[in-house]
Structure 1
Amino acid sequence: MTKSQERSLWKGLLAGAIAGLVATAAKTAAERFGPQHRERADSASAEMHWGVGIAAGAAYGAVAEFFPAATAKEGAAFGLTLMSVTQRGVLPALGMAPAAEDETLGEETAEAATHIVYGVVAEKVRGIVRPLL
């Protein structure tokens, strides 16, 4: 293993944070094509969306650094896992998103699709950025 290929928590975090930023932008753009979210549409919610996207990307980059299996399905598995944690767990518990059983099939499908976009974009960007660090 060469010096540039050595595992590094900090490089994984940085590559993942950059990937999370780009992936959040891609997810936000993709959301315009599906049913509108019924989440609270205030600035705190928008800021949280970006903060969670970047933080999740950083965590993903760190995990991928030491457990490459986390990148399964070109990042799609990560996107769907993130959806399960946020949209099916934390956000409904905080009253910031409807419970899964209250969503229409279209809303649920759009949510899954945009999280897959997030995960795939995050993995592609992480894969480009990480070797440059």
Structure 2
Amino acid sequence: MNIQRPSRHFIAQGLLAGLIGGVGGSAAKLIGEAVYPPRTQGQEPPPAVLAEKVVGHPLSETHKEIATQFFHWTLGTSIAGAYGVAAEFSPIVTVGYGVAFGIAVMLGTHESTLPLLGLDKPPTQQPLREHTSELATHSLYGFVVEFIRRRLIKRWRAVAS
């Protein structure tokens, strides 16, 4: 693996481009989920389950939606910021034009961490639709993050030279 030592300026650019890409990727994932929802009616989204565990009582539908959106946007943006920095150190992380990154996020959340925390069913108990929706929408998320990140970095570096 080729690991570089980028300048602080390039690290900052990578972080900012990743964060901006994360906003776009998170929006794309939400649109994808509107078209192909991961859960059937009645299934609680994991962020809503987490919010209820934290506060210790059931939440209203409005508060569940607020918690779900907060988690979605915060995680989607912050993890993409880390991805943007990682891409500055080792461009191999951008393999598959960000799709591999999106799938890694899915594996690290929906397929492992969320079930381990009791926020979702184990993968073997999740419906096939949930797996395929999460795979499709996380792939879209990663692709959009990389598309935006790459365009911004290219533009910023062209202006700087």
The verdict on a shared fold, with TM-score over 0.5 as the criterion, is yes
How many aligned residue pairs are there? 129
Among candidates 25, 28, 31, match of residue 26 of structure 1: 28
Counterpart-to-counterpart distance in 2, 1:35 and 1:113: 10
Counterpart-to-counterpart distance in 2, 1:11 and 1:19: 12
DSSP-derived class of the 2:120 partner? coil
Q: Say whether residues 1:115 and 2:117 are aligned partners.
A: no
Residue type of the partner of 1:118? Y
Show the counterpart of 2:120: 97
Shift of residue 91, structure 1, vs aligned partner: 1.7
Q: Rg bigger for which structure?
A: 2
State, as a whole percentage, how many aligned pairs show the same letter. Answer: 36
* Aligned positions of 1:1-133 closer than 5 A: 8-37=10-39, 38=43, 39-40=45-46, 41=48, 42=64, 43-133=66-156
Are the aligned partners of 2:12 and 2:85 in contact in 1 as well (CA < 8 Å)?
yes
Residue type of the partner of 1:34? Y
The alignment yields a C-alpha RMSD, in angstroms, of 1.8
Counterpart-to-counterpart distance in 2, 1:33 and 1:102: 23
Q: Deviations over 1:10-34 (max 9, x none)?
A: 1111100000011000000000122
Task: After the TM superposition, list the runs of 4 or more consecutive aligned residues in structure 1 that deviate by more than 4 angstroms.
Answer: none
Counterpart-to-counterpart distance in 1, 2:92 and 2:81: 16
Shift of residue 122, structure 1, vs aligned partner: 0.5
Q: Which runs of 5+ in 1 are unaligned?
A: none
Q: Deviations over 1:71-113 (max 9, x none)?
A: 0011110000000001112222233322211111121111100
Shift of residue 55, structure 1, vs aligned partner: 0.6
Q: Which runs of 5+ in 2 are unaligned?
A: 1-5, 49-63, 157-161
